[in-house]
C-alpha cells in the first residue's frame, strides 16, 4: 500500500513534486521580469522595476500576485518548457497600512510595458477585482502605449479601447502614479483617477509622445517639455502632485489613501491623535493683518487649526489661488478648502474653479466633511479671465459645492465679494458659518462701488479725491461683520483662537451623519 | 556660487523694491512687492543668499513666471 505521509524516519517525495518544481520554475521566470539586461536598463534610467515598486508601496511581505504564470512560453520539440517571457503587467493585492488594495503595475523591462506583451484581460481583471470586491485600486503606470507590432501578432486591427478601463470612479478610490513615459492608454490610466502623482525627471504623461507629435503637427519637442512635471502639475493641472522620487510618490499614495474609506459604502476612519481638541493658538488672533492690502499665509492658519502633522496638500502648483488639502480634526479625516491671498489675491480663476470641482466631487464621493477657510475677493477679472470662461467655471464650481451632500463648515476669515463670494457652501441646507472679526463682505467692494454710484458727485466736487475718500469712509461704517450679525445674516462671530475647539465639536456631529451619507452619490448635469 | 532666478508667480505692478543689489537675504525675505488684485504681494527669496541683480523697477508691469531678480546662493 502506498504511503503518502511520512510516519517513520524516511521522508518520501510528495506525489506532486515534479509539478510543484515546474510551478516554482515558472514563478522564477516571472521574478526575472524582462531579464538582466532589461532590469539594468530600468535601473540605469533612474527607475525601480515594477516588483521593487510594489515592495516599496505595500506593507512588508503583504503582496499576493495574481496571474504570475501569465506570459509567452517556449517549448522544445518534446513539449518541455524552455522558458516563459512574462507579461508586461503585474497585478495582485497587498496591504497599505493594513488595508487591502489592488495594484496593477506595468513592467517596463518587458517591451517597455507595451500592450504588445500584455494580456488585456489582466489589466481589466485587476480593475474589476477592485470594483467588485470594493477595494482601492493603485495603478503604477510605466508604459509607452500601443505597439504597431500588435497588428502583426493579431493579423488584424481593432477599434481602440478595453472594457473596464473607464472603471466607475464612484465606488472605490483610484490612485495613479506615473512612473515613466505614459502615452495613450497609459496616460489615460493616470488621469482617470481620484489622485495622481508623477515623479520629476522620470515621468511624462501625454496623449502621444514626441515621435508621434513631430510628424503630426511638425512640432519638435522633448518628452519632458511635452509631458513633464512642469506642464502637468503646474500649467495644465492634469496630474495632481509632483514627487521628488519614486519613494516620495509611494508615500503620497499611502498618505492619500489614509484619509479615504476603502469604498463608498464605508465611512472614513478616525485615527487616534495626541493633539488636544482644546489647543488654542494665540497667533490666530493676529494672523490676518489689519491693513487690508497686506496678504497672509493661509497654510499657516491651517497648520495652527488642524491636527499637527495631518495636512496633505493636493494640486499645490495649479489653480494656486485656491488651496485644497486633506487633513484631520481630532483624528477625523476632512477635506479642506482655503484661499491663498498671495496668488491672484486668492480670487476664483478658471483653474481654481476646476480644482474646487475635482476636489469637492472627491470629498463628496467618499463622504469627507468639508471645512472652508474663506477669503474670496471675487471671480478673476480682465480679458484673459474672460477668454477662459472664468465666470461659467466659477458657477460650475458653485454647482459642485451645492450638489455636495457632505457636512460642511465655513469660516469667513476675511473677504466675501461678488459672484464668487456666494460660492462657499451648499446653500440649500442649514448652514454652519462662523466669521472672524477680520471678515468683511458685500456684493461689491466699497472702493469701486463708490466710484460707480457717485461718479458725477465725485467729479463735480472741488476736490474729487477728498470727496471720494469721504464717501468711502462713510460707507465703511456699515461694513463691520457685527452689523450683519445683528440682523442674523451671519450666525456666529468668534474669537479666531476658538476655531479648533469649535471644529472638534462640529466634527462629532458631522460623523454622526455617516449612516445617511454612505453609498453611491448621484449628481445632475452642471452647466 | 550658483545663480538662481527669482520669478514672480503672478502678474502685477511693481509696488516697491524691498532690497538692493548686494543685499544679503534669508529664505522667504521679500525681494520686491507687487501690487496685484488690490493687494501687496511679496516676491520672496527661495533660499538664503546675496541679491546679485534686480531686473525690474517700481511701476513696471511683470508677467507670471517673469524673472525679477537674480540671487547668488
Q: What is the pLDDT of residue A111?
A: 78
Alpha helix positions (H), A146-295: 149-154, 185-191, 210-217, 223-227, 229, 246-259
Interface touch A295/B36, C-beta < 8 Å: no
In whole angstroms, give the CA distance from residue A145 to residue A179. Answer: 13
The CATH class that applies to domain A50-67+87-259 reads alpha beta
Question: Mean pLDDT per 10-residue run, chain A (527 residues)?
Answer: 56 93 96 94 95 98 96 94 93 97 94 69 90 95 76 80 69 96 90 96 94 91 95 96 98 98 97 96 97 94 98 97 98 98 93 97 97 96 92 96 95 95 88 95 86 93 94 92 95 98 98 95 78
Interface touch A295/B41, C-beta < 8 Å: yes
- Angle, CA A189 vertex, CA A318 and CA A348 arms, to 5°: 20
Interface touch B38/A345, C-beta < 8 Å: yes
Nearest chain A residue to B37, by CA? A345
Q: Where are the domains positioned within chain A? A: 50-67+87-259, 282-439+493-517
Q: Which chain A residues are within 8 Å of B40, Cβ to Cβ?
A: 293-295
In whole angstroms, give the CA distance from residue A402 to residue A423. Answer: 9
Which one of A231, A320, A343 makes the best mutation probe of the B interface by having the most chain B beta carbons within 10 Å?
A343
User: What is the number of other CB atoms lying within 10 angstroms of the CB of residue A77?
Assistant: 5
Is-contact A491 A484, C-beta < 8 A?
A: no
Q: What is the pLDDT of residue A185?
A: 85
Is-contact A57 A103, C-beta < 8 A?
A: yes
Give the distance, in angstroms, between the CA of residue A287 and the centroid of all CA atoms in the same chain: 29
Reported as type and span, the H/E element at residue B70 is strand B67-72
Alpha helix positions (H), A267-349: 298-305
In whole angstroms, give the CA distance from residue A425 to residue A418. Answer: 15
Q: Which chain B residues are within 8 Å of A344, Cβ to Cβ?
A: 10, 36-37
Of A344, A377, A445, the CB nearest to B10: A344
Intrachain domains A50-67+87-259 and A282-439+493-517 with the same fold: yes
**Cβ contacts of residue B41 below 8 Å, gap of 6+?**
A295, A341, A342, A343, A345, B10, B12, B33, B34, B35
Is-contact A348 A379, C-beta < 8 A?
A: yes
CATH topology of domain A282-439+493-517: 2-enoyl-CoA Hydratase; Chain A, domain 1 (3.90.226)
Is-contact A325 A312, C-beta < 8 A?
A: yes
Q: What is the pLDDT of residue A115?
A: 64
Buried b (16+ CB within 10 A) or exposed e, A285-318: eebbeeeeeebbebbebbbbbbbeebbbbbbbbb
Which one of B27, B32, B33, B39 makes the best mutation probe of the A interface by having the most chain A beta carbons within 10 Å?
B39
Nearest chain A residue to B42, by CA? A342
- A506 to chain B nearest CA, in Å? 33
Structurally, at CATH architecture level, domain B3-72 sits in Beta Barrel (2.40)
| 8-state DSSP, B64 | T
Is-contact A260 A270, C-beta < 8 A?
A: no
Q: What is the pLDDT of residue A384?
A: 87
- B51 to chain A nearest CA, in Å? 22
Q: Three-state DSSP class for A267?
A: coil
Q: Where are the domains positioned within chain B? A: 3-72
In whole angstroms, give the CA distance from residue A223 to residue A200. Answer: 12
- For B9-58, write each residue's pLDDT tens digit: 888 899 999 999 999 999 989 999 999 888 899 999 999 999 999 999 99
Largest CA distance in chain B: 37
Q: Which chain B residues are within 8 Å of A341, Cβ to Cβ?
A: 39, 41
Cβ-count burial of A28 within 10 angstroms (0-12 exposed, 13-18 middle, 19+ buried)? Answer: exposed
Interface touch A341/B39, C-beta < 8 Å: yes
Amino acid at each position: 500500500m502506498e504511503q503518502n505521509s511520512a510516519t517513520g524516519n524516511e521522508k518520501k517525495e510528495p506525489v506532486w513534486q515534479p509539478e510543484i518544481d515546474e510551478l516554482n520554475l515558472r514563478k522564477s521566470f516571472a521574478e526575472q521580469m524582462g531579464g538582466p539586461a532589461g532590469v539594468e536598463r530600468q535601473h540605469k534610467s533612474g527607475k525601480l522595476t515594477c516588483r521593487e515598486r510594489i515592495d516599496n508601496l505595500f506593507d512588508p511581505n503583504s503582496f499576493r500576485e495574481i496571474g504570475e504564470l501569465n506570459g509567452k512560453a517556449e517549448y522544445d520539440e518534446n513539449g518541455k518548457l524552455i522558458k516563459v517571457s512574462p507579461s508586461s503587467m503585474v497585478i495582485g493585492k497587498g496591504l497599505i497600512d493594513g488595508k487591502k488594495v489592488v495594484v496593477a503595475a506595468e513592467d517596463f523591462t518587458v517591451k517597455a510595458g507595451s500592450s504588445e506583451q500584455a494580456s488585456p484581460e489582466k489589466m481589466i481583471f485587476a480593475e474589476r477585482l477592485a470594483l467588485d470586491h470594493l477595494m482601492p485600486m493603485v495603478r503604477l503606470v510605466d508604459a509607452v502605449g500601443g505597439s504597431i507590432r500588435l497588428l502583426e501578432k493579431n493579423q488584424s486591427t481593432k477599434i481602440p479601447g478595453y472594457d473596464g478601463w473607464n472603471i466607475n470612479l464612484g465606488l472605490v478610490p483610484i490612485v495613479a502614479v506615473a512612473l515613466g513615459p505614459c502615452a495613450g492608454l497609459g496616460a489615460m490610466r493616470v488621469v482617470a483617477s481620484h489622485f495622481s502623482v508623477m515623479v520629476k525627471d522620470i515621468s511624462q504623461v501625454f496623449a502621444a509622445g514626441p515621435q508621434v507629435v513631430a510628424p503630426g503637427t511638425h512640432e519638435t519637442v522633448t518628452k519632458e517639455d511635452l509631458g513633464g512635471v512642469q506642464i502637468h502639475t503646474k500649467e495644465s493641472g492634469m496630474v495632481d502632485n509632483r514627487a521628488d522620487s519614486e519613494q516620495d510618490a509611494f508615500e503620497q499614495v499611502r498618505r492619500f489613501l489614509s484619509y479615504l474609506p476603502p469604498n463608498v459604502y464605508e465611512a472614513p476612519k478616525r485615527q487616534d491623535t495626541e493633539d488636544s481638541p482644546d489647543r488654542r493658538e494665540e497667533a490666530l488672533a493676529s494672523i490676518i493683518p489689519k491693513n487690508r492690502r497686506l496678504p497672509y499665509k493661509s497654510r499657516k492658519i491651517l497648520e495652527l487649526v488642524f491636527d499637527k502633522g495631518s495636512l496633505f496638500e493636493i494640486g499645490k502648483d495649479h489653480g494656486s489661488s485656491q488651496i485644497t488639502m486633506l487633513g484631520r480634526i481630532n483624528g477625523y479625516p476632512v477635506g479642506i478648502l482655503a484661499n491663498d491671498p498671495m496668488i491672484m489675491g486668492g480670487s476664483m480663476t478658471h483653474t481654481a474653479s476646476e480644482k474646487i470641482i475635482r476636489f469637492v466631487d472627491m470629498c463628496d464621493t467618499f463622504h469627507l466633511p468639508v471645512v472652508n477657510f474663506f477669503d474670496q475677493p471675487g471671480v478673476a477679472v480682465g480679458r484673459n479671465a474672460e477668454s477662459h470662461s472664468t465666470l461659467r467655471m466659477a458657477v460650475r464650481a458653485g454647482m459642485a459645492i451645492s450638489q455636495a451632500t457632505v457636512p460642511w463648515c465655513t469660516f469667513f476669515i476675511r473677504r466675501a465679494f461678488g459672484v464668487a463670494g456666494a460660492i462657499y457652501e451648499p446653500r440649500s441646507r442649514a448652514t454652519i458659518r462662523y466669521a472672524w472679526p477680520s471678515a468683511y463682505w458685500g456684493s461689491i467692494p466699497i472702493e469701486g462701488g463708490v466710484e460707480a454710484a457717485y461718479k458725477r458727485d465725485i467729479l463735480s466736487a472741488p476736490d474729487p479725491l477728498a470727496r471720494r475718500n469721504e464717501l468711502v469712509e462713510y460707507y465703511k461704517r456699515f461694513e463691520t461683520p457685527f452689523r450683519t450679525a445683528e440682523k442674523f445674516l451671519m450666525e456666529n462671530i468668534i474669537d479666531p483662537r476658538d476655531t479648533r475647539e469649535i471644529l472638534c465639536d462640529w466634527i462629532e456631529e458631522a460623523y454622526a451623519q455617516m449612516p445617511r451619507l454612505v453609498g453611491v452619490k448621484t449628481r445632475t448635469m452642471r452647466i | 556660487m550658483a545663480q538662481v532666478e527669482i520669478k514672480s508667480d503672478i502678474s502685477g505692478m511693481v509696488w516697491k523694491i524691498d532690497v538692493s543689489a548686494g543685499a544679503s537675504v534669508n529664505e522667504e525675505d521679500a525681494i520686491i512687492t507687487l501690487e496685484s488684485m488690490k493687494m501687496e504681494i511679496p516676491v520672496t527669496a527661495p533660499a538664503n543668499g546675496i541679491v546679485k541683480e534686480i531686473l525690474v523697477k517700481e511701476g513696471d508691469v511683470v508677467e507670471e513666471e517673469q524673472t525679477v531678480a537674480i540671487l547668488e546662493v
